[in-house]
Chain A
Amino acid sequence: MMKIGVYICHCGINIAATVDVEKVTAFARTLPHVAIARNYQYMCSDPGQDLIKNDIKNEKLDRIVVAACSPRMHEVTYRKACRSAGLNPYFFEMANIREQCSWVHPDKEEGTQKAMDLIASAVAKVSLHEPLEENEVGVTPSVLVIGGGIAGIQASLDIAESGFEVFLVEKAPSPGGHLAQIDRTFPDLAETSTTLLPKLKALQAHPQIHLLTQSEVEGVEGFVGNFKVRIRHLPRYVNHEKCTCCKKCEEVCPVRVPNELNMGLDQRPAIYLPFPNAIPHSYTIDSKNCLFFQSGECGKCREICPESAVQFEEIGMEFEAKVGTILVATGYDPFDPKLKPELGYGRYRNVITSLELERLLSSEGPTQGKLLVDGKEPRHIVFIQCVGSRDKTVNNEYCSRVCCMYTAKHAYLVKDRIPDARVTICYIDIRAFGKGYEQFYETVQKKGVFYRKGVPSEIYERNGKLIVKADDELLGEPYEEEADLVVLAVGLTQRQDADHLRSLLKLSLSPDRFYLEAHPKLRPLDTATDGIFLAGTCQGPKDIYDTISQAHGAASRATIPLFSGKVKIEPITAWVDELMCAGCGLCEQICEYRALKIDPYRKVMTVNEALCKGCGACNATCPSSAITLRHFKTEQIMAQLREVC
């Protein structure tokens, strides 16, 4: 014989002023299976909870209804109380007679009636409840970090420092990312190498970090705590343990291809060192351009290598790693200014991008830090902001967040090297928002850099000189300015290959095509999928400070399940009646959490309970009513509805 206990809360006067609690209590006693009905000042208080616990023990109650506030407030509280008294916490139901009754109804009589209806409905539902068990699964104490830019490096170090294993997967031959291309940072003009080098060294030295360069993630399976990841490692063709970077191979290699590090401003051989401080500190062979691999005719590097480090026969390998969580830090691609043909990039040699200028200003760059245009120092330099940002014509409505400041930095450095040059920056708004940025903006202006509001409409050549045509918005008149060098402050865009990872991890994209976070305000580092986290510019443009801050943060998020060693599995999950399921797959498409998968052999839907969040979307979608959501079964909901209709 079922014995239900009903507890009605006064919530001080919050409920009691509008609902006649005594009357409601008396009514509750008349409901089927109700053995006890009580009311109390504050059910959530310790004495209130004790009422329930004692009744469960002494009166042998097997179902509990509390009529009080919203379940969002205190459902967990009462479930805990039930559990501590030895009752399955899912034999509990809450009737919301505060937010949905006393707070919104001024009339006491109507309020009381509604409270009675809500309680009757909760009693009807709870009598059909079934016990559910909360399960936990273990967590593999390791993290997969995808992307070896500054975000991935920082996150890997943090995770390893916390004592967990890290698989850092980087596509390129060395971690470092875009930061390795950047010479100095704004606003302090410090050399980036002072930050990057120690971090690279620490990365290489850390026993908990598996650095996987020239590698890519090929497949992901599983769920939070228990991901299985397939990683493909491409051959380097140079044994990095033997290579001493003696440069001899580089000298004999007959191939010359554009050097990615220097944005194609100079050339490199097919066997090369990605950048001077690369780790592992070893050459690598670019098989796409290597004559040995293209025609089988060369092999000079192998002949000359004194350490016999070149190994053409090396083959790629694929292996599986088990990780608890995944951290995505894939970074960005610079905007391709050829999409703005009016700016003449690609047509005029002296229209360059900011990253190209970055390399030209670098002492390790193609010109050893000398800024020369056609062998001469440029006298007139024009910077153009917002190229590929805040621009709907190229479908990038967003601001790239860093261009204002890196342009200010570039202008400063140019002015520093060529003090009598005329440096103009054409801008829309100056977004100097970070620590010390506004002050730096002021310093740059004082240096004699000329800021002009309004971005150019066109760049063309006249008599061998570049002409920048623009509207000065402050003067309200158009002007033309001659320039020896035009620098386009290109924005940041999502990586071109982002789709690959997106589909592997089922990430969502925001309208700006960057990866979408779980919540724009409170969960900026999480994704909708438990156990997958975001750091750095793959989530949206940001500067180095914010990237590092976010990388630390993502490391924190990604290690929470590892520290606790277990993840809870939601007991309220979907369940498929295989006899009813037609295998149409509609629910699979609707599932936000990748919890549903069709069994290829039996052609029925299966639920991964570790992934299912119990949202009920599949349940509502299923045309043959084959899916049931536990705790919200059709008969439970119908019983609940019958009492209020």
Chain B
Amino acid sequence: MLEEEKEKVIPEALIIGAGIAGMQAALDIADKGFKVHLVEKDPSIGGHMAQLDKTFPTLDCSACIITPKMVDTANHPNINLLTYSEVVDIEGKAGHFKVTVRKKPRYVDVTKCTACADCVAQCPVTLPNEFDMGLGTRKAIYIPFPQAVPLKYTMDRRGIPPCTAACPLHCNAQGYVALISQGKFKEALALVRKTLPFPGILGYVCAHPCEWECKRIEVDRPVSICALKRFLVDHVEEPEIHLSPVEEKPQKVAIVGAGPAGLTAAFDLRLKGYQVTLFESKEQLGGLLIYGFPSYRLPREVVKKDLSVIERMGIEIRFNTQVGKDLSFDEILKTYDAIFLSVGSTGAETIIQSSSGLKRDRRGMIQVEPLTLETGLQKVFAGGDGVTGPGTIIEAMAQGRKGAISIDRYLRGEDLRCERTTEGRQFSPMQNILPDSKRIERETLPHMVKPIEPGLTLEEAIEEAKRCLSCGGCSDCGECAKYCQPKAIAYDMEEETIELHVGAIILATGFDPFNPTLKPEFGYGLYPNVLHGIEMERLCSASGPTKGEILIQGKKPKEIIFIHCVGSRDKTVGNEYCSRVCCMYTAKQAHLVRDKIPDAHITVLYMDVRAFGKGFEEFYERVQKEQIIYRRANPSEVYRKNGKLVVRAEDTLLGEPVELEADLVVLASGLIPRREDDLLKKRLGMESSSDRFYAEAPGLDPILTGVEGIFLAGCCQGPKDIPDTVAQASGAAALACALLAKGRKTTVPSSES
């Protein structure tokens, strides 16, 4: 029985989280000759420690001591590093767990990427840099920080942005706006042309549903996407466009009516290689574009230029031919393999009467199957205003495209109905994921341009385009792919699910910093000069957004106040526990400020100073000798008066209220459990302790859990500093290896049994 059990122990370990705890545990286990799978959700390993500037109390450079460990971890032959991956499921029990890991797509082939950064130079999308806590920026294709391991780029693709989703033709609005912001007008227009056959017309008179959904409205007002498109059409000098199908097809298609819907259908079908004939009752192309818009709103030359493409594509056009009057419906039904009726709302009645079989809906329009635009008559499809009733140009064009897709499928003999739901106007899945816009100053921006006014100037266009919040992250503009020499960009990469079999699991998922907006009285998020601990860390760091200079809105602060225990020892936010590191990291940051701004007034407001580790008390003493004032105080509020921050507090030693002015307030935010841990806890059947961190098994051992074979390391068990984390990580490795060793030994004494 025991022997049987032994055999099952798989001598491999899984570690979830590759911060300092996960890396230490992985190295310890791997050094003992066991295979380790190290899963990290971020693109790089390193965790929070990589973000820190210096470590207390020795003031070692954090990056300098952690990066060799990161490189060791990545290079270890026994460590299987799975970055940008998440554990989604765990089954089984000690000795033989089955683990399912989801590898998120990086959209960059890591085997090809050389981290040359050529893509970064081309990427038009600038986003807040998470590694710098949003104090700095990065591009949509990025490495989190220069020493990242693996040193491979990741594309931050969050999904289809609201503007693009709202466009019935899914024009990549975020993409071309981003390119305009970089002055890449030609590339922007080319991107527009990928989806829109007639950008000029739409630049002038589109009803721009994209702008209705633009998330910028939550900051001030939407980006003038349509005006930007018009700017492109007005300013970019393009050579005459000649398009021809890749492959000619013999089937003949008749398009009845050369308005926006018919023109789009004709354009699409001709590009697919069909022999297209366009029947138009009037003497020119355009339909309502000509007859519905005055020329001062939609200049005729714009229409002409856009539509001249049609003539050059080899589409046969029959002007002054009204089907049903000048030519019988049956006639074309006989001659053509497929027919698209785009007769407009006024032409619907005529065509219905002239045909035998077209049905009228209750509004008097042509009745169709909305998903496919089938009319009920074999090979006849209909779309545009003649089906929907009067609508917008972009919607009519979308109908044209839909009809073209249906006809193409019909002529190829394919299923008309499958995978059609993504066509037309959609709602972006990211409705609620508004990028963190709290730091965007509400300055005056170029006036909104109405269609009848002159278009945007070059400067205005760039300014306007820069207002885009880049909701979708990567704008799919394709510029990086153009410049990537090793051809590492892989837009079509898909997520992968892999299965691992391990004997032991170590949880080292770390912590989240407490979000100080939950203490609104301190003004975090309201005042740009109220920062939290990790933000301050990045501000001090030489690799941070200010290259290590402490600058608040470009100026060195002279009066700095640190507030302890923000989100710790505080029942009002449900965190009764002490976060164990804030006293010391504040002491360190105060020291760094003193170092960088020698004449600053630095005050630390504390409850108890918990300097309990090796060398901590000595460091606390040293910091006090550097003229850093420690005041035992209860801060109640931070507010702004005459442009300065004022911290209101009660000095508990003096027993009186005080008001202290500050240029910078640093909130020593505590450590809280990771949000993602809840899911894991559920999957693993693990318990939380009252502080919501992972609960250890009853007893005096902080590593053992209630589940055999699963061990805890680092801050996911409770806040702790780096040495305590490293010790615990090694400890978890010891326990895991004692279990794994049982699996290995069985192979040796086979003669015994």
| Assembled-state Cα–Cα distance A45/B65 (Å) | 25
Q: Does A432 contact B (CB under 8 A)?
A: yes
Q: Does B718 contact A (CB under 8 A)?
A: yes
Total A residues in contact with B, Cβ cutoff 8 Å: 68
Which residues of B (722-736) have their CB < 8 Å from a CB of A? Answer: 722-724, 726-735
> Are A399 and B612 also in contact (CB < 8 A) when A522-B65, A549-B724 are?
yes
B580, A549: Cβ atoms closer than 8 Å: no
| Assembled-state Cα–Cα distance A195/B117 (Å) | 56
Question: Which residues of A have CB within 8 Å of B116?
Answer: 12-13, 41-42
Which residues of B (705-747) have their CB < 8 Å from a CB of A? Answer: 717-718, 722-724, 726-735, 737-738, 741, 745
Question: Which residues of A have CB within 8 Å of B701?
Answer: 545, 548-549, 552
Q: Does B569 contact A (CB under 8 A)?
A: yes
Q: Does B28 contact A (CB under 8 A)?
A: yes
A158, B610: Cβ atoms closer than 8 Å: no
A401, B613: Cβ atoms closer than 8 Å: yes
A552, B731: Cβ atoms closer than 8 Å: yes
Which residues of B (578-612) have their CB < 8 Å from a CB of A? Answer: 578, 580, 608-612
Question: Which residues of A have CB within 8 Å of B114?
Answer: 12, 41-42, 45
8 Å CB contact of A552 from B611, B726, B734 = B734
| Assembled-state Cα–Cα distance A12/B121 (Å) | 13
Question: Which residues of A have CB within 8 Å of B499?
Answer: none
> Are A429 and B734 also in contact (CB < 8 A) when A438-B578, A520-B58 are?
no
Question: Which residues of B have CB within 8 Å of A437?
Answer: 577-578
Q: Does A512 contact B (CB under 8 A)?
A: yes
| Assembled-state Cα–Cα distance A172/B717 (Å) | 35
> Are A162 and B737 also in contact (CB < 8 A) when A401-B612, A553-B728, A556-B730 are?
yes
| Assembled-state Cα–Cα distance A190/B116 (Å) | 58
A435, B718: Cβ atoms closer than 8 Å: yes
Q: Does B426 contact A (CB under 8 A)?
A: no
Mark B359-402 against chain A: 1 for CB-CB distance below 8 A, else 0: 00000000000000000000000000000000000000000000
B55, A560: Cβ atoms closer than 8 Å: no
| Assembled-state Cα–Cα distance A432/B577 (Å) | 9
Q: Does A593 contact B (CB under 8 A)?
A: no
Question: Which residues of A have CB within 8 Å of B569?
Answer: 438
Question: Which residues of A have CB within 8 Å of B33?
Answer: 563-564
A553, B731: Cβ atoms closer than 8 Å: yes
B115, A12: Cβ atoms closer than 8 Å: yes
Mark A555-589 against chain B: 1 for CB-CB distance below 8 A, else 0: 11101100110000000000000000000000000
The stretch of B237-245, B251-259, B689-697 that contacts the partner chain: B689-697
8 Å CB contact of A524 from B31, B117, B652, B723 = B723
| Assembled-state Cα–Cα distance A549/B701 (Å) | 7
A158, B577: Cβ atoms closer than 8 Å: no
B69, A522: Cβ atoms closer than 8 Å: yes
Question: Which residues of B have CB within 8 Å of A545?
Answer: 700-702
| Assembled-state Cα–Cα distance A13/B483 (Å) | 14
A521, B689: Cβ atoms closer than 8 Å: no
Q: Which residue of A lies closest to B740 (CB)?
A: A162
The stretch of B349-357, B546-554, B614-622 that contacts the partner chain: B614-622
8 Å CB contact of B615 from A475, A520, A525, A560 = A520
A450 CB → nearest B CB, Å: 16
B77 CB → nearest A CB, Å: 11
Q: Does B14 contact A (CB under 8 A)?
A: no
A554, B730: Cβ atoms closer than 8 Å: yes
| Assembled-state Cα–Cα distance A79/B33 (Å) | 22
| Assembled-state Cα–Cα distance A555/B690 (Å) | 30
A162, B689: Cβ atoms closer than 8 Å: no
A439, B613: Cβ atoms closer than 8 Å: no
Q: Does A624 contact B (CB under 8 A)?
A: no
Which residues of A (428-451) have their CB < 8 Å from a CB of B? Answer: 429-439, 442
Residue from A185, A397, A544, A549 having most chain B Cβ neighbours under 10 A: A549
Question: Which residues of B have CB within 8 Å of A195?
Answer: 699-700
B154 CB → nearest A CB, Å: 17
A397, B726: Cβ atoms closer than 8 Å: no
8 Å CB contact of A185 from B55, B117, B700 = B700
8 Å CB contact of B576 from A45, A401, A438, A554 = A438
8 Å CB contact of A476 from B115, B655, B689 = B655
Question: Which residues of B have CB within 8 Å of A185?
Answer: 700
| Assembled-state Cα–Cα distance A429/B610 (Å) | 7
8 Å CB contact of B689 from A436, A514, A555 = A436
Q: Does B32 contact A (CB under 8 A)?
A: yes
Q: Does A550 contact B (CB under 8 A)?
A: yes
Question: Which residues of A have CB within 8 Å of B723?
Answer: 517, 520-521, 524
8 Å CB contact of B731 from A12, A45, A73, A549 = A549
B732, A552: Cβ atoms closer than 8 Å: yes
A520 CB → nearest B CB, Å: 5
B577, A559: Cβ atoms closer than 8 Å: no
Question: Which residues of A have CB within 8 Å of B611?
Answer: 399, 431
A399, B28: Cβ atoms closer than 8 Å: no
B15 CB → nearest A CB, Å: 13
Q: Does A602 contact B (CB under 8 A)?
A: no
Question: Which residues of B have CB within 8 Å of A438?
Answer: 569, 576-578
Q: Which residue of B lies closest to A523 (CB)?
A: B726
B653, A476: Cβ atoms closer than 8 Å: yes
Q: Does B246 contact A (CB under 8 A)?
A: no
A442, B576: Cβ atoms closer than 8 Å: yes
Which residues of B (99-129) have their CB < 8 Å from a CB of A? Answer: 114-118
Q: Which residue of B lies closest to A10 (CB)?
A: B116
Question: Which residues of B have CB within 8 Å of A548?
Answer: 700-703, 731
Q: Does B68 contact A (CB under 8 A)?
A: yes
| Assembled-state Cα–Cα distance A73/B147 (Å) | 11
| Assembled-state Cα–Cα distance A522/B114 (Å) | 30
B730, A552: Cβ atoms closer than 8 Å: yes
Question: Which residues of A have CB within 8 Å of B691?
Answer: 435-436
Residue from B32, B114, B734 having most chain A Cβ neighbours under 10 A: B734
Mark B632-667 against chain A: 1 for CB-CB distance below 8 A, else 0: 000000000000000000001111000000000000
A390, B718: Cβ atoms closer than 8 Å: no
B700 CB → nearest A CB, Å: 5
Which residues of A (143-201) have their CB < 8 Å from a CB of B? Answer: 158, 161-163, 185, 190, 194-195
B614, A510: Cβ atoms closer than 8 Å: yes
B718, A399: Cβ atoms closer than 8 Å: no
8 Å CB contact of B738 from A158, A540, A550 = A158
A429, B702: Cβ atoms closer than 8 Å: no
A158, B734: Cβ atoms closer than 8 Å: yes
Which residues of B (4-52) have their CB < 8 Å from a CB of A? Answer: 20, 24, 28, 31-33
8 Å CB contact of B722 from A431, A521, A560 = A521
A524, B612: Cβ atoms closer than 8 Å: no
Which residues of A (348-407) have their CB < 8 Å from a CB of B? Answer: 390, 397-399, 401
B612, A162: Cβ atoms closer than 8 Å: no
Residue from B580, B698, B745 having most chain A Cβ neighbours under 10 A: B580
8 Å CB contact of A556 from B69, B617, B702, B733 = B733
Q: Does B248 contact A (CB under 8 A)?
A: no
Q: Does A474 contact B (CB under 8 A)?
A: yes
B608, A430: Cβ atoms closer than 8 Å: yes
A397, B621: Cβ atoms closer than 8 Å: yes
Q: Does A473 contact B (CB under 8 A)?
A: yes
B693, A163: Cβ atoms closer than 8 Å: no
Residue pairs across A and B with Cβ atoms less than 8 A apart, 9 shown, are A158-B738, A435-B717, A439-B577, A512-B615, A520-B60, A545-B701, A554-B727, A554-B730, A556-B734
Q: Which 4 A-B pairs have the closest CB atoms?
A: A552-B731, A12-B116, A553-B730, A556-B734
Q: B-contacting residues of A (Cβ < 8 Å)?
A: 12-13, 41-42, 45, 72-73, 76, 158, 161-163, 185, 190, 194-195, 390, 397-399, 401, 429-439, 442, 473-476, 510-512, 514, 517, 519-525, 539-540, 544-546, 548-557, 559-560, 563-564
Supplied contacts A185-B700, A510-B615, A520-B57, 19 more A-B pairs, CB within 8 Å: A13-B116, A41-B114, A76-B75, A162-B737, A190-B700, A398-B618, A399-B612, A430-B608, A431-B610, A434-B718, A438-B569, A521-B722, A525-B727, A540-B614, A549-B703, A549-B728, A555-B731, A556-B28, A563-B31
